[in-house]
Amino acid sequence: MSSSPPPEPYRVLVIGGYGFFGRRLVERLSLQRGLHVIVAGRSLEQAAALVDSLRPQAQATLGAIALDAQADELASWLDGLRVRAVVLASGPFQGLDYRVALACAAAGVHYIDLADGRDFVAGISAVDVAATAAGICVLSGASTVPALSCAAVDELTRGWQRVDTIDMGISPGNRTERGLSTIRAVLSYCGRPVPHADGARVTGWLRTRLRRYPAPVGWRALSPCDVPDLALMPARYPGHPRVRFNAGLELLTLHLGANVLALVGRLGLVRDWSAHAVRLKRWSDRFIAFGTDAGAMHVTVRGVDAEGAAARRTWTLLATAGDGPWVPTLAAAALVRKLAAGAAPASGARPCAGELVLDDFAREAGGRQITWTVR
């Protein structure tokens, strides 16, 4: 009696797979059985080096290729690679177009990205017609925001009659590794207006407030940041809540330095601080030995619960041992797991809000010092 052949591995291409977040995502995916993960980027040498380092512990099969994601031939390359899903992990996404997502639609493969740029994530519906026609899902923002932040708000406000305010913040530990693309993204709105859905405007990184997180994080300074949630969340929850998002640097010296950059930008003396990202990263790295490797994120909601009573709930995430940079990779890892299991999200293009629940993130965070509590 002949046995049936084993199922073919689910083939996933990770563009920017050896980058700051990409290599962490690839390591997560390498632990999922039944996958064939292809690490792609312009440098075959770097892609192959990552694959070689992960292969001894990998549960998935791994491969590496050199690929230019901006090439016109991308759709035909995807078809030739026989991939079923693409994850775009190379940022910054501010100012990027949708050619990779459109190429995925042309090739009939699912698309996921780790974008956190407001305009990029909110505008992904531009690909909806092509994605729906191809029968694929195109999900933008499979990252800390808006995927994880929306999962937290969904959990906190389940059954509520109305959500009045949503306050969120992130503060990484100073000794945590930081990527150049992330710094470029943050600097892109430093000193620039950050519009809110209710018409209010603040200036990115200009004002500072303090928040106390649980030990070992403690007090952190936070300033306004531009994220997709500011555009997406008001329409997503009953009551059209006012949404605020802040981020901060652990060392007050660096945080106040960012405030000064924002003031200079607001005065028009520097048009775009992201053009100086390399120099500013080099300067901030001089302080890498100070502070801690512990970071935190919070989501606080206020509103009216199912019984009609005024309610306030807070979700707090702690990432220690330098594991903060893994958090933005958890959503993409969870989505790939669902795709490989045959549980593909509905076809069409949309921000990655409401596609996952907190339990999905908890599964992917296994083995890392990432925990959260609800108060």
Report the C-alpha gap between 229 and 150 in whole angstroms: 8
* Cβ neighbours, 10 Å, residue 52: 11
* Alpha carbon 82 to its chain's center: 26
CA distances from 2 to 7, 9, 142, 174 (A): 15, 21, 42, 58
Give the mean pLDDT per block of 10 residues along the chain (375 residues).
71 96 97 97 97 97 95 94 96 87 97 95 97 98 98 98 98 92 90 82 93 97 96 96 96 96 95 94 94 98 97 98 97 98 96 97 96 95
pLDDT the model gives residue 94: 82
pLDDT tens digits, 85-104: 999 998 788 878 999 999 99
Strands (E), 174-327: 193-195, 201-203, 209-213, 218-224, 242-247, 295-304, 310-319
Report the C-alpha gap between 263 and 249 in whole angstroms: 17
Verify cis geometry, omega within 30 degrees of 0, for the bond prior to 146. yes
pTM, two decimals, is: 0.95
Name the token pair of 55.
């292969």
Report the C-alpha gap between 180 and 172 in whole angstroms: 15
Q: Which domains does the chain have, with CATH numbers?
A: 10-143+326-360 (3.40.50.720), 145-319 (3.30.360.10)
Helix (H, G, I), strand (E, B) or coil at 9: coil
Which strands make up the sheet holding 242-247, listed edge to edge? 209-213, 218-224, 242-247, 162-171, 295-304, 310-319, 370-374
Among 196, 301, 167, 146, residue whose Cα is nearest residue 238: 301
Q: Give me the count of residues in the chain.
A: 375
pLDDT tens digits, 330-369: 999 999 999 999 999 999 999 999 999 999 999 999 999 9
pLDDT tens digits, 17-53: 999 999 999 999 999 999 999 999 999 999 999 999 9
- Give burial (CB, 10 Å; 0-12/13-18/19+) of 276: middle
